Every structure is written in structure tokens, then in C-alpha cells.
Structure 1
Amino acid sequence: MNGAKRGASRATTIIDIAKVAGVSKSTVSLVLKDSPLVKPGTRQRVNQAIEQLGYVYNRSAASLRTSKSSFVGMVISDLMNPFFAELAVGIEDELNDFGFVPILANTNENVDRQARVLQSLLEHGVAGVIMSPANGTDAWTLAATLPRSLPVVLTMRRVEGSPLPYVGPDNRTGACRAVRHLIGLGHRRIAFIGGFGTMTTQSERLSGYFDALQEAGLQRDETLIFDAAPTRNGGMDAAARALAHSGRPTAAFCFNDIVAIGVTRAIALRGLRVGADIAVIGFDDVVGAEHNLPPLTTVSADTRLMGARAARGLLGLIEGADPATASFTGETRLVIRESCGAQQETIGGTT
């Protein structure tokens, strides 16, 4: 062909590309699908052959031939929470690097809406799904809704009894570290505020809260646990109940940063000083946490990294990897700011 682009007599095929590049046609296919399994040198040879032969990859036709899609479902339980927006960005960035496009859906913590969303994604033939399950999701319903052949990764919230891979932070250790810090500052009446008992995330963070109390020889006081919606309003309402408690707490460990922001607002409205009269710690380290008034002490879960790891796990499943390799538990670290009444610093592992 003397370097000329082919195409006058017949369409170029991946077999032609494989011959020019000196690889198998399956390797060419992996390059066209942006698979991470191809070595950089091999990828370069294949791309040079593609350019030389003037091959144009028809993704739509390829999807029809392979029954695979370049779209991935991204099902989020509450997009009003900036934590999940950050998580979604981490997922999208990673998927984009490998040629996948996310279809974002918000379930608003509604299991019926979640079921409709999942059904719609299945009808559109997505290659896989990353989901933060709505509160109340059970393993049986999830198994009945999702085909066993569909790659699925759960993130930020486990589903009890589900064998699906899970990606999320070490909630228990992070919570223990936060409450241990409050105890070290001299607090003995520490409230746990936010979330519901039906949430596995609350259960894990509450376990860490109890671990720290036990370490310090402090007794559990169930009256200091205030369930509430994981929202600003939920935090404000729960804080009002905590502040009206006969044995008012001197500190609060909150289910997440959004709850903590609501708690700090409720405290300020009552003429009390956050960090001086009542210490407050959140969880997640969302972008706005350091700009709260006062800046919020919180447990960092490295949200974008969690999103990226969830995406990598799903991409592995799509490529046929062992589901066990898709699970990941990230380290957490305590980021100390003014809301707990201590000097700013960072305690704990790195992610």
C-alpha cells in the first residue's frame, strides 16, 4: 500500500489493522474499546496502524455486535448532598478516561423510584451500574431487579446480605477517631446526630462512636443518639432535640457534614458558640466544610478517590475481572478545624 490509506476497494477491518500492527484482532478490539489491559507500546502500534489505514471506529455498530454499551448507570441516592456530587465527579472522571459515559440518576432516597431507574437503565442496555442504594434497599429486591450478568458496584452504603462488590471509606475507624478526639478534649457527654438505623452507614459510624466510648471507659447513653434525615434541616431538628435534653451534650459527632452544618446553625441560633460551648465534628469533608462558620472539623473520606475506585472496580467487572477485586475500603483521616475547639491539624491515615 506504500503508506496510502486503504478504502477504495473495500472497508478496512480490524483484521487488516492487526496484520499491519503485528497483533491479534482481539488486541485491536481492546484498543478500540480503550481497555486498560493493553500495554502502551502495543496500543501505540495499533493506533499508528489505524491512522495509516484510515480506519473509522463505529461505536454504535460495535455495541450492536458485542451487545455491550459505552454507557454506565450512575445511581445516586441524594444529589442534594454535595458529597454525592463530588462522588459523581470522581466516578465520571475515571469512566471518561476509558471511553464510558455515565447516565446519572437521582433516587432521592426512594426505593420505588430506584427500582424504576434501574429498570430504565436495563432497558437502555447499560454496560454496568454504580449505585449508592436508597435507604431501605434490601438484598432480595436488589437481586430480583438486577440480572446476575450485569456488572454492579455499590458505593458509600452497603446492602446487608448482598454479595455485590462495595467501595467506601472505613466508617467505623473514622468515627472512632473523631469521637476519641472529642474525648481527648475533655468531653464526656457526646451526642451522635443524624442518619437512621436502617442505614448501614449509620450503623458502621455508630459502631465507631461506641468503640471510642468503650476505650475511654464511658458508658453508652442511648438518649444521646438522635436519628434524623441526613440533611441540613435534619441536623437542625436533631440539634434542637439535643439542646433541649435534660443532660445537654457538650459535643456532637454528626452522621455527615451536611447534618453537622445544620447542627452548627441550630447552636448559633440559640446564642451558643460552636467550638467553645459545644464541639461539633462531621464526616465526609465536603468542599464547603472548611468554609462553614466556624470551619468544620470532619472525617475526610477522600470522596473523589472513592468515586474513582468505584469506577475502576466496575470497569474491571466489565472486562471480566473477579468481583472480589472490585471491592475497596478507603482509609479515613480526621481534619481538625475550629468547630471542635482545637487547633487545626490532620490525624489518621492517608487515602
Structure 2
Amino acid sequence: MSTRPRSTRPSVGITEVARHAGVSPGTVSNVLNRPERVAEATRARVEAAIAELDYVRNSSGSSLRSGRSGSVGLLVLDVTNPFFTEVARGVEDEAAGAGLAVVLLNSAEAQDRQRRNVRLLAEQRAAGAVVMPVDDDLSDLLWLSHQGTSWVALDRGDVAEDVGCSVSVDNHAGGLAAGRHLIGLGHERVTFLTGPFAIEQVRRRHQGLLDAFTESGMDPGAHVRVVEQPLLNPQQGERAVDAVLAGGPRQRPQAVFCANDQLALGLMKGLGRRGLRVPDDISVVGYDNVDLADLVHPGLTTVAQPKYDLGRAAMRLLRSELDDPGHRHERVLFTPELVVRGSTAAYRS
């Protein structure tokens, strides 16, 4: 049985559309890019020719002429973290209103990966980028600025307004709320389980926890212990169980405040495998309020971040910088909210 090769049709160009509509190629270009400059009757004739010929515009060609593409980059710390799913949805919904496509990139919490992805965005002439930096070093973002690529820092509240736009959540307030909650339940030995302190959000959440003890009249140095992990994922949370429980039953924390939900969920799994019950033996608090936090048993008490709004606000600032010659950099700060579920309870000696 013989098969016939599929027929291929040469792609239709702007010249063919112009000939079919009886106008110049420049008029077709105006219809595609600046339709308000073309008379309504002429525009309708060109649009009809586009439809009849099934013309598809060459966006790569137009990007070469304009100097930028129709895409923006979204560079996140960990693409497997469901926190970023909602952030990405907010970015994409806002970008869609401007006809921009979003390219998702993953730094895997590594500086070298971030640098490679930033350079890739510049090489591809991305219109701009929303970036969650892996640490305090903003040199990659400053390099992007020198290449003429606009950016917005996501979840970073310490970016100066003369440097660039930023959207973040008050992480100190989140840590303070978690600490007050645990202290109110009678917990005086608290472990802060975290990823690298090079991450600004981690440091601010920790400081909020310390300040909660200070305002309660307790020395945070005597009541708060830190267990630091290389990454902020469930595997690291589960592996941290030995360090969290170090020192035996008398030194065991009454509660653990985790720098994100991923660590908290992993820790709860590890504690269960050790025969320890949450919250009867140890209370656990997370941070982010990912969807899974309400699906596990017991439900995870956590500090909720407005994830979707974070992404949408970041993309709104980026659109402003791309479209408004008079754009001025802004810092947008959201307030987190403590969500109490079943993973925390009053301390019982």
C-alpha cells in the first residue's frame, strides 16, 4: 500500500496579502500593527484578504524589526513548588491582556542556572522578565537592564525604587504572626526549619519569629533554634527530621515553624514515620498556603500569601514599564494572613 506525501503550501507573505487586497504592503503592515491609522473600509478589505489567504504573521520577523519579541520570561526558584503555579497563572492572565506570551524558566535555587536563564532571555530579545532572585545579588537583573530588557523582581521587598520595580509580601509580618500563634498556644521551644538564609524571604520570616518572642518578654536566643537545609522542598523537610529531633525528648521542640509549606509537608511525613503525631507531639506551621495544605491530615496551619495577586501585580508593573514612557518604578507590598488548621494545638507538658 503506497502513501502519498502530504502536500505543502508555501506560506503566504505580506506581499501576497497586499496584492489580494489591492493595497500596498505598508498598508497591510499598518493593519497588523497600527490599525487605527487605516481607514475602516480599507482595513476591512485587508482583514478579509488575510482570512481568505489564511495568512499567519511572522512574529520573529516583526521582533527583529521592533527589537523585542512578544514574549516575557517568568523565572522562578523551583518550578515543582505549587506556590509558583498560582503566581504563574496571575502573570499569564495579565500578560494575555497585552498579547504577550509567558515563558516559564526554573533557576532551581541556583545562581548559575539563574544567570544562564537571564542571558537566554536577553538573547531571545524577550520583551521583559519577572524574576524571583535566588539571593541578594541583583547583578543579573542589573545586567538585563544594561541590555535594554525590562524586569520586575518578584517576592523581593528590598529592591530600591531607583533600581527597578518589585512585588512582595511582608515576610516579617508573616513570621511574626506564626510566632505569636505558637506562643499563644504555650509553645516555648520552637525550631525554625528553613532553606538557605541567603534568600531574603527566609531571613525576614525568621526575624518575625524572633520578634514575636521578644515582644512576649522571652529571649529568642534561648527559645528558638534554627535547622537550615540546602533547598526548600519536601524531600529536605523529611530529611531534616533527625536534626529537628536532635538532643532527645527533653530538647525536642514543642513546635516547628517551616519557611514554606513544602518543608512543612515533608517534615510531617518524616515525623509520622518516627511515630510522632502532629499536633499532639509537635505542632507544625508552614508558609505559602499551597492547595495541598488543606488536603493533608491534619490540615496544615500556614501563613497564606496572595499568590495569584503577586503574579498579576508583577506583570502589571512590567506592562507599565514596557508601554509607558513616563513609567516610574514602584514597590508593591502585600500583607500575609495566618490560616489556622489542625497541625497546631496548645502545648501539653
Under TM normalisation by the shorter chain, which class is it?
0.7 to 0.9
* Mapped pair 1:206 → 2:206: yes
* Mapped pair 1:110 → 2:102: no
Q: Which has the larger radius of gyration?
A: 2
Q: How many residues align?
A: 313
What TM-score comes out, normalization by structure 2 length? 0.80
Distance across 1 between alignment mates of 2:41 and 2:212: 61
1:274-320 per-residue CA deviation (whole Å, 9 max, x = no partner) reads 12221111000011111122110111102111111111111111113
Distance across 1 between alignment mates of 2:275 and 2:182: 22
- Which residue number in structure 1 is paired with residue 305 of structure 2? 301
Q: 1:283 aligns with which of 287, 299, 316?
A: 287
Distance across 2 between alignment mates of 1:12 and 1:129: 31
Structure 1 residues 144, 242: closer, same or farther in 2, change over 3 A?
Answer: same
Distance across 2 between alignment mates of 1:160 and 1:191: 29
How many Å apart are 1:156 and its aligned residue?
2.0
* Mapped pair 1:267 → 2:281: no
Distance across 1 between alignment mates of 2:29 and 2:205: 54
RMSD in angstroms over aligned alpha carbons?
Answer: 2.9
How many Å apart are 1:53 and its aligned residue?
4.5
Stretches of structure 1 lacking an aligned partner (at least 5 in a row)? 1-5, 18-24, 30-45, 343-351
Structure 1 residues 120, 276: closer, same or farther in 2, change over 3 A?
Answer: same
Structure 1 residues 148, 211: closer, same or farther in 2, change over 3 A?
Answer: farther
- Structure 1 stretch 193-202 or stretch 52-61: which is displaced more? 52-61
Distance across 2 between alignment mates of 1:260 and 1:247: 20
Distance across 2 between alignment mates of 1:210 and 1:49: 69
* Mapped pair 1:167 → 2:167: yes
SS in 2 for 1:235: helix
Distance across 2 between alignment mates of 1:221 and 1:170: 23
SS in 2 for 1:168: strand
Distance across 1 between alignment mates of 2:149 and 2:41: 33
How many Å apart are 1:235 and its aligned residue?
1.5
How many Å apart are 1:107 and its aligned residue?
1.6
Distance across 2 between alignment mates of 1:308 and 1:173: 22
- Which residue number in structure 2 is paired with residue 217 of structure 1? 217
Distance across 2 between alignment mates of 1:69 and 1:15: 17
SS in 2 for 1:102: strand
- Which residue number in structure 2 is paired with residue 192 of structure 1? 192
Distance across 1 between alignment mates of 2:242 and 2:24: 75
1:27-78 per-residue CA deviation (whole Å, 9 max, x = no partner) reads 938xxxxxxxxxxxxxxxx997786344469462543433232110111221
Distance across 2 between alignment mates of 1:71 and 1:319: 14
How many Å apart are 1:143 and its aligned residue?
2.2
How many Å apart are 1:13 and its aligned residue?
3.0
1:192-251 per-residue CA deviation (whole Å, 9 max, x = no partner) reads 111222111111111111121111111113761111121112212333212123521101
1:133-159 per-residue CA deviation (whole Å, 9 max, x = no partner) reads 22x461335423542632101112467
Q: Greater relative contact order: 1 or 2 (C-alpha under 8 angstroms, separation 6 or more)?
A: 2
Give me the identity figure in percent: 32
- Which residue number in structure 2 is paired with residue 52 of structure 1? 44
- Contact 1:194/1:234 (<8 A) preserved: no
* Mapped pair 1:254 → 2:258: yes
Distance across 1 between alignment mates of 2:98 and 2:42: 18
SS in 2 for 1:179: helix
